[in-house]
A and B are shown apart, each in its own frame.
Chain A
Amino acid sequence: MWNRFIKAEMKYTYTNHWSIVHLLLASLLNFYLYYYSAKAFKPSAHLNISDYFSYIVIGDLALTLIHTHMIDAPTLFVRLKQFGIFERLLMVEKNLYKLLLQVFMASFISKFLLTQLHVVILIFLFNLEISFQALLALIGLKLFVSFLFIGLYFLSVAIACKLKKVSNGMFYFMTLLSFFSGVYFPLDVFQVDLFKKWLSLSPIHTYIDLVRNFVSSQWNYSLLISSGIHLFSWGTLFFIFGIVFIKILNHKAEFIDEWN
């Protein structure tokens, strides 16, 4: 009973052959996308074409690692809402946060293997030189950031309550965020210094930068501590905003009207 949704989510993920096919297809499609993007890319002062190829692959790898709390968990929440299960459990348990965290954990645990598989496929497909220690560190980083950004999940749930469909909304949000966080191109392509500075404060940028440094084994403790403080500050802010948003929606009347 500690997490009633894990079995349901496991069954949904691993008996659904399309999700596995999608994973393999996505990796191959990414390969072509990255290859032609790298060819079309005009190198900046800091990055040449061959570097760009691995740059964008690691960007995608970092995005995969933060997929759970941005898209997977809110999508599971919406599915449970559509079946009417979340509403009925809420009537008995009354503790919305406990139920929301159970949904997050179910999504995190059931999708963990799938995201790691995607990461391994990326590493082999693009022949990334990554040590076993760095791979373990990446998994640790995923755990750390996932729990740090749980507030971001609350925010996504609040948005999902209003939009009713989460994946489309979050997909556009993630794409927009990725463009301005250094996933597809480095921030120094922007001409305005102030804009660049603002963008470099983005938590996604910090996280992706950290993943890049891990993969290229260029990290050190001072970078780890400064990035950790940066991410922790953002995590706290997201948490406060997430709680406030959920509190607004937690008014029972709002929930019931939304459900039916």
Chain B
Amino acid sequence: MNLYFHISPWPITYFLSYKMNELFITNLDVSHKKGHLFTLNNLTFKKCEIYIITGENGVGKTTLLKSILKINSDYSIGYLSSRLLGLVPYLTGRENLEIYFPNHAIAAYIKKYENISFIQELLEKKIEEASEGMRQFLSLSIFLESPFDVYLLDEPFNSISDKNCEILEMRILELSREKIVIMANPKFNLISIQSFKELKIQKSGLYVE
């Protein structure tokens, strides 16, 4: 069964199904405080597909992701911005994990990322003392382990090394089999993600390539 979001600026109406296979958006007004950017018509995001939004600075990539996030539905939509890491600087990596996950999930997390060379150091170190790459890795990995139906990644981080990026990319690939993943301007090298759909935003609107 498909999931349909029918969105009109006012009043907002939604038609939702029980199983998430796709996200259908029509008539979504993409605008920020300074004014209207463009309107999205009949755009479908499907499961098993990774979507990458590209475009010049200021065309509205972040605004588009936020507009999708603002859809008021029963389904959980997660949004990760590189500007907000979601970590407490005066706590260690493990204590930060405790804010997000129960103990058994933390054990599973550590097992999953045991191949990361700095994982033990990151768990013991205070976030304010950790390197930029470590912080970004922890923030992104926490986000990818959180249970959302739709994952929106706004400029995933560029300080993560290629080797660790590959591990995170594998996780994104794994997620995309069950969930919808949409990324804006990823600065990943995209080593593992070979197939994706590019959504190009220009000043006149959005184009699917």
Q: CB within 8 Å of B: which residues of A?
A: 1, 4-5, 7-8, 11-12, 15, 83-85, 87-89, 91-92, 94, 252-253, 256-257, 259-260
Interface of A is mostly: helix
Contact A256/B69 with A11-B90, A91-B79, A92-B78 known, Cβ cut-off 8 Å:
yes
Q: List 10 A-B contacts (CB under 8 A).
A: A7-B98, A8-B95, A11-B95, A83-B85, A84-B81, A84-B84, A88-B100, A89-B99, A91-B78, A256-B69
Q: Are A15 and B100 interface neighbours, CB within 8 A? A: no
**Which residue of B76, B86, B142, B146 contacts A87 across the interface (Cβ within 8 Å)?**
B86
Q: Is B83 an interface residue (CB 8 A)?
A: yes
Q: Are A88 and B143 interface neighbours, CB within 8 A? A: yes
Residue of A nearest to B99 (CB): A4
In the complex, what residues of A have CB within 8 A of residue B95's CB?
Answer: 7-8, 11
**Which residue of B72, B86, B148 contacts A84 across the interface (Cβ within 8 Å)?**
B86
Chain B 80-120 residues near chain A, CB threshold 8 A:
80-81, 83-91, 95, 98-100, 102
Q: Are A11 and B91 interface neighbours, CB within 8 A? A: yes
Contact A85/B87 with A1-B102, A8-B99, A91-B76 known, Cβ cut-off 8 Å:
yes
In the complex, what residues of A have CB within 8 A of residue B79's CB?
Answer: 91, 256
In the complex, what residues of A have CB within 8 A of residue B148's CB?
Answer: 91-92
Task: For residue B124, give the distance in angstroms from its CB to the closest CB of chain A.
Answer: 15
Interface-centre pick from A88, A92, A259 (highest chain B CB count, 10 A): A88
In the complex, what residues of B have CB within 8 A of residue A15's CB?
Answer: 90
Q: Are A88 and B86 interface neighbours, CB within 8 A? A: yes
Interface of B is mostly: loop
In the complex, what residues of B have CB within 8 A of residue A257's CB?
Answer: 33, 66
State A259–B83 Cα separation when bound (angstroms).
Answer: 11
State A259–B88 Cα separation when bound (angstroms).
Answer: 16
Q: Are A92 and B147 interface neighbours, CB within 8 A? A: yes
Add 10 more A-B contacts to A88-B146, A257-B33 (CB < 8 A): A1-B102, A8-B90, A11-B90, A83-B87, A85-B99, A91-B77, A92-B148, A94-B76, A259-B84, A260-B84
Q: CB within 8 Å of A: which residues of B?
A: 33, 66, 69-70, 72, 76-81, 83-91, 95, 98-100, 102, 142-143, 146-148
Task: For residue A175, give the distance in angstroms from its CB to the closest CB of chain B.
Answer: 29
Task: For residue B134, give the distance in angstroms from its CB to the closest CB of chain A.
Answer: 16
Q: Are A8 and B84 interface neighbours, CB within 8 A? A: no
In the complex, what residues of B have CB within 8 A of residue A12's CB?
Answer: 90
State A94–B77 Cα separation when bound (angstroms).
Answer: 10
Interface-centre pick from A83, A85, A87, A252 (highest chain B CB count, 10 A): A83
In the complex, what residues of B have CB within 8 A of residue A91's CB?
Answer: 76-79, 146, 148
In the complex, what residues of B have CB within 8 A of residue A89's CB?
Answer: 99-100
Q: Are B91 and A256 interface neighbours, CB within 8 A? A: no
State A85–B143 Cα separation when bound (angstroms).
Answer: 11
Residue of A nearest to B72 (CB): A252
In the complex, what residues of A have CB within 8 A of residue B72's CB?
Answer: 252
Q: Are A87 and B99 interface neighbours, CB within 8 A? A: no
State A213–B53 Cα separation when bound (angstroms).
Answer: 66
Task: For residue B62, give the distance in angstroms from its CB to the closest CB of chain A.
Answer: 8
State A85–B72 Cα separation when bound (angstroms).
Answer: 20
Task: For residue B41, give the distance in angstroms from its CB to the closest CB of chain A.
Answer: 20
**Which residue of B70, B80, B88 contacts A85 across the interface (Cβ within 8 Å)?**
B88
Q: Are B99 and A260 interface neighbours, CB within 8 A? A: no
Residue of A nearest to B85 (CB): A84
Contact A83/B86 with A4-B98, A7-B95, A256-B66 known, Cβ cut-off 8 Å:
yes
In the complex, what residues of A have CB within 8 A of residue B77's CB?
Answer: 91
Closest 3 CB pairs of A and B: A84-B84, A84-B86, A88-B86
Task: For residue A18, give the distance in angstroms from its CB to the closest CB of chain B.
Answer: 13
Contact A8/B91 with A92-B78, A92-B146 known, Cβ cut-off 8 Å:
yes
In the complex, what residues of A have CB within 8 A of residue B99's CB?
Answer: 4-5, 8, 85, 89
State A87–B81 Cα separation when bound (angstroms).
Answer: 11
State A260–B79 Cα separation when bound (angstroms).
Answer: 11
Residue of A nearest to B103 (CB): A1
In the complex, what residues of A have CB within 8 A of residue B85's CB?
Answer: 83-84
Task: For residue B45, give the distance in angstroms from its CB to the closest CB of chain A.
Answer: 17
Task: For residue A165, give the distance in angstroms from its CB to the closest CB of chain B.
Answer: 17
In the complex, what residues of A have CB within 8 A of residue B86's CB?
Answer: 83-85, 87-88
Q: Are A260 and B76 interface neighbours, CB within 8 A? A: no
